[in-house]
Structure 1
């Protein structure tokens, strides 16, 4: 009767909401009572058997439902006249009808409605019972851990979604207050709640016609005047960055408004409306709303305890933060992977276990054979800062090697860079061992941190202030974090400091981020991942909504 979660995710079938009409409500499996003539009655063995048989048949396509109904003796969850069953029906159907308010695709209840209208026997009632249970499982998974499967959208989305056990979810629902239980399925993070508020706000903006005319031209500076400045002024007022003003010149208040806009969009805050600023100013409210809907889906993918202390790396923001009890206690700029197929930084969560001071750079094989081997074929002494190491760990004299005989698959050596100030990893790396070989580290290339867009690495995350980052981590386990770190550093030898308490690390990708005190920050979709997610959400039936007029 309903498309299963697995098949729906696989096909991306669109769901359209059909409101429950008055006649169905009167029928009342939805919000009222079950017709007494067909309600299962324990005293009537033949009728109970018919109901049970129908439930067993309808549930056979779902391992979860088959197991649940067998274990409970085919006792109905929704399809009886008890107050509890009625409360479950009401809570589920109200939650489903409100799904678009949460950024979910609407659910097609047309077939359920038709079957409810056609109930004439216990077999019909049994089928309706299972249809409601399937609807519950669909909704529970969607609202709790997302409608989409990340790995099916982009190869960089390697996040392990914390899916809940469906049987346990159904069992807990039956034992709980239905409306309260359905509410607590949603992410409880402050970010999720604030995103929902901003979603509603932008839907009202769309209902009122948007933010007005786009800003023409390519650059406006303080002191300028003219029609373009007036349009810029009006756009800033409509977006909430500039108080109501009648100025016709680019005055100090407008400059301050532009700076605020720039800070909240990851731009250089110079107060000059240049090409990048104007491009971001002209992004439509529809596109910003789409970013929020994507962010809501991403919040569901990471609907789990993040850790009282955790590290939050937002790839689109080029930043790395240490968060303690919900408060950012340290922040530094970062450089992330280039926007190339084999260099984009992936998204996943893990645990930081230790840091390596004065690290050796073990050049990844992909880099060794794709970048350095061609160089050494032309000149055996190229990349002389790297040691050539054989399979037994012995350093090999390049003069004795004919590099021209090797291919990317047959190259038998490893390349290593010893600890030094010029080491590609800098003087410290922070390890959360993972199969993607991604970690946080220092770098000798400090100039890149001054760039507005900082996507230059092979995939790992470079930190602008790695020492201070290390001190902040070590402060939890020593009274002298600087002294401990520097003592290791001064040896010049590679050494490891274990973190006594491992710290969760979350590599995320958010183009829409709320501010705790209100307002939004937006970032560019540097890898195009959000565009892919939005296309998949639209395919599943998620739509932009306009409220009011």
Structure 2
């Protein structure tokens, strides 16, 4: 427990004494009645609190003189003192302000009002720290994630029936990633209090062999960031080059060891901005505060990777391409369950692509997109020469479109299906050149994989003695084949511009869709702030 919290508890022990002896002995029954009436009145504005206190005949849980009441107060105040550590709005959960209000409550009616207020603050804190401050879809419509909200009545009933301190300690996410982000947040806050990473590195770029003031500034910043040991070198030598590569790897940049304009831009991002990213990542982690599956697929959109995770360890990872940045092509965020893969898939063209891209092309030239079949409502191919495409618009076009299995198919040779209302899946692609780029946002929303065959082998390894042989035997037929997964695998499409490796290395990525900036603004509106801490 921190020294601050120890002082806080001693201070509140005195407050407990004040509360215990503030009520005169005479007329205790009348005062108890007045207290309960005040609780009933205050709780009536909240259905959950009204139900909870009604079940207790409006007896308090916070403001009494018993040891249990005192333990609950102390535990709540200690939790509130650490709210800022978790990136919660510290002003809303200010323990000193709460103690002052309690001390100022002298009459039974005032104590009853504070009783309900403490329960209200407890419920707000419990939800904020366990499942997040924000409703994500209200901030970013492309976040389709179902936040695992808990019962508010269950919170307060569970708290009363449990050890107060243990119950409150159990509320934050227990995931290793949350713990690592919390640790890195506190490290960055201490760093901010001590001046950050020092002076920015100026100039358009630096390369191995360079020397001078720019190289010295680069060296000093890399040392401050922890990417190299202290050094007196004033030349861009092999040590600096290796440190630059480590920085580039941690920021999703091409690790060529040259401090070009893009690398310097990331290098010069201030500590306060990085803190914002970590706080947003912690909020996002709270939105996913539920089991992810011992085996699951983790697609970090802004890292442009898709990984198979087994017991929180990456067992396979490949590069990915995500939806383009146009508002109608961005990949959404959600979780679902992968049930099967399709080898030699047909591509059934989404309606939006048909009417927005292919119909205009067909109206100009009926032989356009000739590699795509045009089919009627029964799936039969139609003869283009018999259709006057100019008579149709986006609403009236009566046909579907399909690309048969082939190496040139838009889905490549395999797709991985987790049925969802957004028609999003993982798939192969013939457009392999895009995987060499740093920023890979080019698709219509689905996730393209650089090494889909190896991805398939890894998925099949738990159910096939020879996963590669089995997959290739299906592939060689050239026919579309569905392969069910014996044990369906959860899939999580996430967006983390700040994340850690299991080693604790903090990584940052670009805010490709400008989602995290919107989330930060929403958090700031709720009172969340970047802070600097000593120690």
Instruction: Compute the TM-score of the two structures, normalised by the length of structure 1.
Output: 0.92
1:185 aligns with 2:171: yes
Question: Which residue is 1:56 aligned to?
Answer: 40
Indicate how the Cα distance of structure 1 residues 221 and 115 shifts in structure 2: closer, same or farther if over 3 A, else same. Answer: closer
- Asked if the contact 1:316–1:511 (Cα under 8 Å) also holds between the matched residues in 2, the reply is yes
User: Is residue 51 of structure 2 the alignment partner of residue 72 of structure 1?
Assistant: no
Task: Sort the Cα spacing of 1:40 and 1:491 in 2 relative to 1 into closer, same or farther, 3 A.
Answer: farther
Q: Tell me the distance in 1 between the aligned counterparts of 2:494 and 2:251.
A: 17
Residues 33, 81 of structure 1: 8 Å contact kept: no
Q: What's the counterpart of residue 227 of structure 2?
A: 241
Match of 2:20 among 35, 50, 54: 35
Q: Which sits farther off after the overlay, 514-523 or 382-391?
A: 514-523
5+ residue gaps, structure 2, are: 1-6
Q: Equivalent residues in 2 for 1:83-482 (5 A)?
A: 83-108=67-92, 115-482=101-468
Structure 1, unpaired ranges of 5+: 1-19
Change (3 A) 1:21 1:84: closer
Q: Which moved more, 1:120-129 or 1:519-528?
A: 120-129
Aligned residue for 2:20, secondary structure, equals coil
Corresponding position of 1:531: 517
Structure 1 CA distance for aligned equivalents of residues 164 and 52 of structure 2: 18
Q: Distance in 2 between matches of 1:367 and 1:32?
A: 71
CA distance in 1, matches of 2:476, 2:32: 80
Note closer, same or farther for the CA distance 1:322–1:191 as it changes in structure 2 (3 Å cut): same
Counterpart Cα distance in 1 of 2:386 and 2:335: 44
The Cα of 1:154 is off from its aligned counterpart by 1.0
Q: Give the Cα–Cα distance (whole angstroms) in 2 for the partners of residues 238 and 119 of structure 1.
A: 50
Asked if the contact 1:219–1:273 (Cα under 8 Å) also holds between the matched residues in 2, the reply is yes
CA positional deviation for 1:498: 1.0
- The structure-2 alpha-carbon separation of the partners of 1:355 and 1:120, relative to structure 1 and needing over 3 Å to count, comes to same
Q: How many residues align?
A: 527
- TM-superposed CA distance for 1:222, in Å, is 1.2
Q: Is the 8 A contact 1:218 1:274 kept in 2?
A: yes
Q: Secondary structure at the match of 1:304?
A: coil
Q: Is the 8 A contact 1:262 1:269 kept in 2?
A: yes
Superposed displacement of residue 291, structure 1: 0.7
- Give every structure 1 segment of 4 or more consecutive aligned residues whose post-TM-superposition deviation is greater than 6 Å: 20-24
**SS of structure 1 residue aligned to 2:276:** helix
- Check the 8 A contact 2:342/2:415 in 1, yes or no: yes
Deviation string 1:306-336 (CA, Å, 9 cap, x unpaired) is 1111110000100000110111100000000
1:4-47 per-position Cα deviation (integer Å, ceiling 9, x unaligned): xxxxxxxxxxxxxxxx999995872xx54633464999x96544
Q: Would you say the 8 A contact 2:343–2:414 is kept in 1?
A: yes
TM-score, L = length of structure 2: 0.94
Question: Structure 1 residues 305-314 or 119-128, which shifts more?
Answer: 119-128
Is the contact made by 2:8 and 2:78 (CA closer than 8 Å) also made in structure 1?
no
Aligned-partner SS, 2:19: coil
Deviations 1:127-178 (A, max 9, x none): 1111111010000000001111101111111111111111111111111111
The CA RMSD measured in Å over matched residues stands at 2.1
Q: For the Cα contact (< 8 Å) 2:9–2:78, is it kept in 1? A: no
Secondary structure at 2:125 match in 1: helix
Cα 1:26–1:505, aligned 2, differ >3 Å: closer, same or farther? closer
* Displacement after TM superposition at 1:196 (Å): 1.1
